[in-house]
Amino acid sequence: MWQEDKELKAGKRVQRLAHIALLLMALLALFALITDTSNYIRSVKSVRGLSLDITNLQVIDDDNPRARIRFRVRNDSPLKIEVESYAFELYLNAERVGSSYSTYLGTDPNIDPKAYRQTTHVNQILAPGSSLDLEFTLYVYSVQMESVRNAQRSGSMSWRASASFSAILPYAHKENVIKLLARFEG
């Protein structure tokens, strides 16, 4: 009888320790879930802190019509964002002029087409409060160049860029596509 009481108490002690261990694991899992959810929400909110501006746009109308576009991407979020690459489309008065896929190779035979494809690969970390300046030379096809000339003659020049940035957000382990818009009058 005395042996049975001792075994019963030992069994209850083991059950109590198992319950405590399970409770601690449940609390740890709950803490991890709350932390992961909070980090995810902060990461998603960091996207709202990104902005895009066209800082300069120059149209060159010669034998190889092109536009030189300077962008500035600003990170006003409290978290760093890793910008991998970008692609954009450029519009003038709501008409499509070209995109980052319209690579200008010019007349120089020494220009390597790979170099132009690489211009949209950024691979930089954008710290909180910092900005990144990008430049792209866009080839403008003759049909679109005629639209640019007509707009220049009329004096109505409202440019808009729709850009998609491939970025790795904080606490994320995969690339996300972030859409940004920018306007430029001139």
Domain boundaries 50-185, corresponding CATH code: 2.60.40.1820
pLDDT score, position 95? 92
Using CA atoms of 59, 61, 66, 72 in order, give the dihedral in degrees to the nearest 10. -10
pLDDT score, position 57? 94
pLDDT tens per residue across all 186 residues of the chain: 666 777 777 778 888 888 898 989 998 998 888 887 777 777 777 778 889 999 999 999 988 888 999 999 999 988 888 899 999 999 999 899 998 877 666 656 666 767 666 778 889 999 999 999 999 888 888 889 999 999 999 988 899 999 999 888 777 777 788 899 999 987
In this predicted model, what pLDDT tens digit does every residue of 71-89 receive, in sequence order?
999 999 888 888 999 999 9
Helices (H), the chain: 2-47, 113-118, 142-154
In this predicted model, what pLDDT tens digit does every residue of 23-54 receive, in sequence order?
899 989 988 888 877 777 777 777 788 899 99
Residue 102's alpha-carbon distances to 17, 45, 120, in angstroms, are: 68, 32, 12
**Comparing C-alpha atoms, which of 62, 166, 69 is closest to residue 123?**
166
pTM recorded for the entire structure? 0.73
Domain ranges of the chain: 1-47, 50-185
pLDDT score, position 1? 61
